[in-house]
C-alpha cells in the first residue's frame, strides 16, 4: 500500500477538523527551552521539517504516520497521534511537543500544558504553510539558520510552481477521487487540490470549498473530467467496473493513480514532485486509448 494511500485518511481528517482563521502557528503551554533537546513530533509534516533543518537528533518520538526521512522510522512511535497517547508521549520525557491544532488534540494540548510541557501547535494544511512552520521549528530547536534557508527555498520553489502553472497551457480537467465506493471527491479545501492546480490541472470539483465531499457517479459524469486522479486504489479496479463507464475519462482509460509518496502530505518534497506530475497529467490527457492500454 502506498504512502499516499496510508496518509489519505489523515489528510482528510486534518483538513476537515482544522480551526477557522488564517493558517499559522500557536505556541501553547510554558515556554520551551532554547533549544529543545527532546522533541516529540505528532505531525508527519513537522517531523519531515525537523529532520530537514538538522533537528533530527533532537526528535525522540514520532507517530506511525511519520515515515520520512527513513531515519525518522528509527524513532519510537507513540501511535496515531490524533489524538495522541499522552502516556506514550510522557514516557519519552519531552521538553517540547509539536502538535497539529485540531479539536481532536485539544484535550491532549490542555493536559500537556497542565503538566508543564511546552506545546507548539503548527498548522500545515498547504504547501504555503511550510515556510512559516520551518522558521518556528528552527527557533524552537536552535536551527534558525538552516530553517530560514529551507523556508526561503520553499518560498522560491512555490513561486516558480505558481508561475509555471499560470503561464503554461490550460491543463486537463481532473476529478480527484479519495474513494470510489461511494464516490468521494476532493475539493478546494484539500491539499491535493493545491497540488493538482500547481501541476497545471483544473479540479472539476474546485467549487467545493470543503476538503472532500460525497457525490454521485452521475455528478462526476456531468462534470466530464478529462481524467480521473485516484488518491487511493488502482486504475484497474475502477476501469473494470461497468457502472463507471458512464464517465468519459473512464471509457477512454484516462485513470491515473497518484502514488508518488512525495505527494502524500505537504512537505518540501512535494514541490519537487509537482513538475513530474504536470508532465504525467499532460501526457495522459493527450494519449490515445491504444497508447493508454499499453
Where are the domains positioned within the chain? 3-163, 169-293
35-39, 126-130, 141-145 — which is least confidently predicted? 126-130
> Residues with Cβ < 8 Å from 167, sequence gap 6 or more?
none
Which one, of 18, 59, 24, lies nearest residue 42 by Cα? 59
Distance CA 194, CA 170 (A): 16
Average pLDDT along the chain:
86
List the CATH code of the domain at 169-293: 3.40.50.1980
| Greater model confidence, 281 or 59 | 59
What is the C-alpha separation between 285 and 289, in angstroms, rounded? 10
177, 218, 195: which is closest to 277 by C-alpha? Answer: 195
Closest CA to 79 of 61, 94, 103: 61
| pLDDT average, residue stretch 195-211 | 93
Q: The pTM is what?
A: 0.84
| Domains 3-163 and 169-293 belong to one CATH topology | yes
Nearest C-alpha neighbor of 176 from the set 252, 249, 235, 228: 228
**What is the helix (H) or strand (E) element at residue 151, kind and residue range?**
helix 144-167
> Which H or E run contains 203?
strand 202-203
Domain 3-163: give its CATH superfamily. Nitrogenase molybdenum iron protein domain (3.40.50.1980)
pLDDT value at residue 201: 93
Amino acid at each position: 500500500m502506498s504512502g499516499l494511500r496510508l496518509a489519505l485518511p489523515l489528510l482528510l481528517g486534518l483538513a476537515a477538523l482544522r480551526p477557522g482563521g488564517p493558517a499559522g502557528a500557536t505556541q501553547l503551554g510554558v515556554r520551551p527551552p532554547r533549544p529543545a533537546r527532546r522533541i516529540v513530533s505528532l505531525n508527519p509534516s513537522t517531523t519531515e521539517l525537523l529532520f530537514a533543518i538538522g533537528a533530527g537528533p533532537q526528535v525522540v518520538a514520532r507517530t506511525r504516520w511519520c515515515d520520512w526521512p527513513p531515519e525518522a522510522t528509527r524513532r519510537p512511535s507513540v501511535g496515531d497521534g490524533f489524538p495522541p497517547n499522552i502516556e506514550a508521549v510522557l514516557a519519552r520525557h519531552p521538553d517540547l511537543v509539536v502538535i497539529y491544532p485540531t479539536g481532536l488534540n485539544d484535550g491532549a494540548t490542555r493536559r500537556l500544558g497542565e503538566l508543564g510541557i511546552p506545546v507548539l501547535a503548527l498548522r500545515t494544511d498547504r504547501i504555503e504553510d511550510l515556510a512559516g512552520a520551518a522558521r518556528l521549528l528552527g527557533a524552537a530547536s536552535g536551527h534558525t539558520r538552516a530553517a530560514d534557508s529551507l523556508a526561503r527555498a520553499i518560498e522560491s520553489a512555490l513561486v516558480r510552481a505558481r508561475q509555471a502553472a499560470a503561464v503554461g497551457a490550460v491543463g486537463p480537467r481532473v476529478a480527484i477521487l479519495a474513494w470510489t465506493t461511494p464516490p468521494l471527491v476532493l475539493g478546494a479545501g484539500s491539499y491535493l487540490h493545491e497540488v493538482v492546480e500547481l501541476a497545471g490541472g483544473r479540479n472539476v470539483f474546485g467549487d467545493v470549498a470543503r476538503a472532500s465531499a460525497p457525490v454521485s457517479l452521475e455528478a462526476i459524469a456531468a462534470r466530464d473530467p478529462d481524467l480521473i486522479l485516484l488518491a487511493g486504489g488502482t486504475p484497474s479496479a475502477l476501469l473494470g467496473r461497468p457502472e463507471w463507464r458512464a464517465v468519459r475519462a473512464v471509457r477512454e482509460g484516462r485513470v491515473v493513480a497518484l502514488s508518488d509518496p512525495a505527494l502524500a502530505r505537504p512537505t518540501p518534497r512535494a514541490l519537487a514532485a509537482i513538475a513530474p506530475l504536470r508532465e504525467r497529467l499532460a501526457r495522459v490527457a493527450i494519449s490515445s486509448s491504444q497508447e493508454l492500454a499499453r
